[in-house]
Amino acid sequence: MPSVPKSERRLFLSVHDVGPRFESQVDRLRDLLGRHAPQDRIALLVVPNHWGQAPLTRGTPFATKLRGWADAGAELFVHGWFHRDDSTHTGRAAQLKARHMTAGEGEFLGLSYDAALTRMRDGRRLIEDIAGRPTAGFIAPAWLYGAGADAALADAGFRIAENHRRVWNPTTGKILARDPVLTWASRSRARILSSLAAARVLPPVLRHLPTARIGVHPGDTTVPALLDSIDRAVGRVRRTHAPARYADLLAA
């Protein structure tokens, strides 16, 4: 496999499910990733109302904290609206994704175009109003997009989106990066073990690629072994890749 010069390798770090429901967990994950990268190189994926139980509300302490992070340079992504999948899925492929790739959180996998576009626009409007600056892009919960969400992305005006395999500009269709995202799962012992195995195997592969992506979730903080694994994996990739902002991909 041909190697990419170190000066051209970029590492993109992100904390998912940012919102008042997981405030303490998000703080802990930002501190952990901050051991390896400046805080303005850690993207924050913001959920406007996680599972309909934790609304992001203007004027609250968490809203003030979120604006402070944005003022300090952190990129904010719209990360769905509810993060919960309430759709009825048709087609075997969609059913398998909904059942095996997430625990009922692939919100945008089964949405119609109209529903997806409304949630994208509403989420963007709310987050930008609180942050006082534009959002960086849109990333669907569980990185899952259905046909409706794909079509809506092209009309929502977001310049950056990502899934498990790539980052792209929805307004132009241009691929900005191709790489597998390294992440962890905490909802069962089997998934914990598979996550730990992937975190051992994937960093040596990522070191040859021009870009590497690592995403962490609030649930990771509940398993000490996952936190240790995240720390080690980020440290290993950090040796070959410089922390970067997603906006750098647009500039390139």
How many residues in the chain? Answer: 252
d(CA 78, CA 143): 12
pLDDT recorded at residue 6:
67
Which among 104, 112, 143, 139 is positioned nearest to 124, based on CA atoms? Answer: 139
d(CA 178, CA 164): 9
Q: Domains (ranges, CATH) in the chain? A: 12-177+213-219 (3.20.20.370)
pLDDT recorded at residue 2:
45
What is the chain's pLDDT, residue by residue, as a tens digit (252 residues)?
446 666 689 999 999 999 999 999 999 999 999 999 999 999 999 999 999 999 999 999 999 999 999 999 999 999 999 988 674 545 544 444 444 444 567 799 999 999 999 999 999 999 999 999 999 999 999 999 999 999 999 899 999 999 999 999 999 999 999 999 999 999 899 999 999 999 999 999 999 999 999 999 999 999 999 999 999 999 999 999 999 999 999 997
Positive or negative CA dihedral for 113, 115, 117, 120?
Answer: negative
pLDDT recorded at residue 229:
98
d(CA 61, CA 36): 27
* pTM higher than the cut 0.85: yes
The answer for residues whose C-beta is within 8 angstroms of residue 182's C-beta and 6 or more apart is: 198, 199, 202, 203, 206, 212, 213, 214, 215, 233, 237
